[in-house]
Amino acid sequence: MIFWSDKKILITGGAGFFGSQVVNKLLEKGVLKEDIRIPRSREFDLRKWKKCVDVIKDIDIVIHLAAKVGGIGYNQKYPADLFYDNAIIGIQMIEAARQENVEKCVVVGTICAYPKFTPVPFREEELWNGYPEETNAPYGLAKKMLLVQSQAYRQQYGFNSIYLLPVNLYGPGDNFDPASSHVIPALIKKFVEAKKGDSPYVEVWGTGAASREFLYVDDAARGLILATERYNKPDPVNLGSGREITIRDLVVLISELTGYSGEIRWDMTKPDGQPKRCLDVSRAREEFGFEAQMPFKEGLKRTIKWYRKYSGDVDSMGRPEDHC
């Protein structure tokens, strides 16, 4: 708690899926609710420079999570929005934090920044060795520029900005809007609704051959807090579980956990996205002692349970401000 004593903390995206868990971790640390500032997009459009300046006044620590995000379909439909909004918000927030002499800035990037054909497991040193997967390149590159900015500001101004690279997050409270959700909530929604409606089949995008790594949102929040407390270097750091699963195996597992026994149809005209995603998580372990704790199957069970409990309200929640 000593680190957090008397600190005023700004969390962009703090009302979203990931951000709300970070807030919970801070409250558990003893941080007072009134010392946590969460700008909401309806009041603070962070694409506007003045709003960034206004929101950062008297802040000691900035945790930048806010982003416009989505799955493959969303990325294909809105590449320009994803590039501009994520770049301009991040660039302005970091610059406003520097001008305000903020003590520390924690920037959350995205695994989408890695090259399309990165050797597995992804090591942070590979980040610049190729172009990202095409369907999410505008988003990934926009977020990647914030690493360049963080390192440049440290070099020129001595500004303490760190950069984290989480894998795809999942867990209770995720975004289940089919227009913008990622793979786990999208699949959970499909299979739960198919089970409820007694549908004879569920259609899934791609071939199922691609692999992904997932990190339970509570683990991710704990990792971010540890990094904020203990890490002060320019090098980016992966946050992940270090375990991958193919989309085909993931689909089978979710169908079993939701109790769906109908047919699974693969629409191979749709893209798989990046072929493989699995992180080398040794730097996070060595630098600030982070290791994922939630077993994947148990995390899925908890997420499915949450969705079944709140599915009547999910569609009205809208798409949260959150990270990919």
pLDDT tier, 42 (very low <50, low <70, confident <90, very high otherwise) = confident
pLDDT at 24: 97
- Alpha-carbon gap, residue 96 to 57, rounded angstroms: 9
pLDDT tens digits for range 244-299:
999 999 999 999 999 999 999 999 998 888 888 899 999 999 999 999 999 999 99
SS3 86: helix
- CA distance linking residue 3 with residue 312, whole number of Å: 41
Query: Which pTM was predicted?
Result: 0.91
259: left (phi over 0), alpha (psi -120 to 50) or beta: left
Residue 298: closest CA among 290, 308, 306, 289: 306
3-state SS class at 105: strand
Task: Write down the pLDDT at residue 322.
Answer: 34
In whole angstroms, what is the distance from residue 318 CA to residue 260 CA? 26
Instruction: Enter the tokens of residue 152.
Output: 């440049």
Reported as a single tens digit per residue, the pLDDT across 21-36 is: 999 999 999 999 999 9
139 a catalytic residue? yes
**CATH of 9-317 given 1.10.1240.10, 3.30.930.10, 3.40.50.2300, 3.40.50.720:** 3.40.50.720
**Lookup: tokens for 46:** 């962070």
CA distance 264 to 250: 12
User: Pick the catalytic residue: 74, 84, 131, 139?
Assistant: 139
- How many Å from the N-terminal Cα to the C-terminal Cα in the chain? 29
In the chain, helix, strand, coil percent, each to 5? 45, 15, 40
Q: How far apart are CA 32 and CA 105, in angstroms?
A: 19
pLDDT digits (tens, 9 = 90+) for 138-193: 999 999 999 999 999 999 999 999 999 999 999 999 999 887 788 999 999 999 99
Determine the Cα–Cα distance for residues 278 and 123; give it in Å rounded to an integer: 9
Q: Which residues of 1-15 are buried (b: 16+ CB within 10 A; e: fewer)?
A: eeebeebbbbbbbbb
Quick check: 164 and 220 in contact, CB under 8 A? no
Q: Where are the domains of the chain?
A: 9-317
CA nearest to 124, candidates 155, 168, 83, 164: 164
